């Protein structure tokens, strides 16, 4: 990933923790849409963690960005049929597809930046070198900024009153506030990666 190494390592930690939580949540879900959704979120979290590793620590080489684009492209294609269905999770699946496509875009921009970065002359980059389409980057940044705010506001009522005393204990892997916090973390990670373009 381009950008300061500290930001990259913080993103690695954030996305890996989100991916790990989604794996735990996947194990606790019954077979079906909930398990598939948790698995897709785990793939996104771990994929973003690997993608965020600073290039000084792990040089992805020319194969890295295309590999990331393929992985996230598969995730987007997997989320689109569920988003078109009439299931209650359709809005979340659409967001998941947008997030995966944003990561495809980021990977392709990384590939473009790496290819153009090798064409420097005397350590100075060529004029007009861009790694992303500013209008598309701006639209994705706006989408994820709104999503982060919306998800953060939804998180507050879930943690405000605690669990219903008559409902009994809830496994921490199935707590709704942790699921929303995981989605919030990955949206913040996506927003940050888009900022580094």
Q: Could you tell me the residue range of the domain that residue 31 belongs to?
A: 5-195
Residue 191 sits at the vertex; the CA angle it makes with 120 and 193, to the nearest 5 degrees, is: 30
Instruction: Enter the DSSP assignment of 124.
Output: B
Chain segment 101-110, per-residue pLDDT in tens:
999 999 998 8
Tokens found for residue 168:
């009994």
Question: Is 121 in a helix, a strand, or coil?
Answer: strand
Q: Indicate the pLDDT class of residue 138, thresholds 50, 70 and 90.
A: very high
Residue 14 CA to its chain's centroid (Å): 10
Question: What are the tens digits of pLDDT across the range 17-68?
Answer: 999 999 988 887 778 777 888 888 899 999 999 999 988 888 877 888 899 9
Instruction: Supply 142's token pair.
Output: 């706006």
């Amino acid at each position: 990933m381009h950008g300061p190494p500290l930001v990259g390592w913080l993103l690695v930690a954030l996305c890996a923790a989100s991916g790990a939580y989604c794996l735990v949540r996947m194990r606790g879900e019954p077979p079906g849409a909930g398990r598939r959704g948790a698995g897709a979120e785990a793939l996104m979290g771990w994929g973003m963690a690997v993608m965020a590793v600073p290039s000084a620590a792990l040089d992805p080489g020319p194969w890295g960005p295309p590999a990331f684009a393929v992985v996230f492209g598969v995730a987007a294609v997997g989320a689109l049929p569920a988003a078109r269905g009439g299931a209650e999770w359709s809005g979340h699946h659409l967001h998941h597809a947008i997030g995966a496509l944003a990561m495809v875009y980021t990977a392709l921009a990384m590939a473009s930046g790496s290819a153009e970065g090798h064409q420097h002359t005397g350590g100075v980059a060529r004029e007009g070198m861009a790694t992303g389409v500013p209008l598309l980057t701006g639209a994705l940044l706006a989408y994820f900024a709104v999503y982060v705010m919306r998800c953060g506001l939804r998180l507050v009522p879930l943690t405000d009153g605690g669990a219903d005393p008559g409902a009994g204990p809830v496994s921490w892997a199935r707590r709704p506030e942790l699921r929303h916090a995981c989605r919030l973390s990955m949206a913040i990670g996506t927003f940050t990666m888009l900022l580094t373009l």
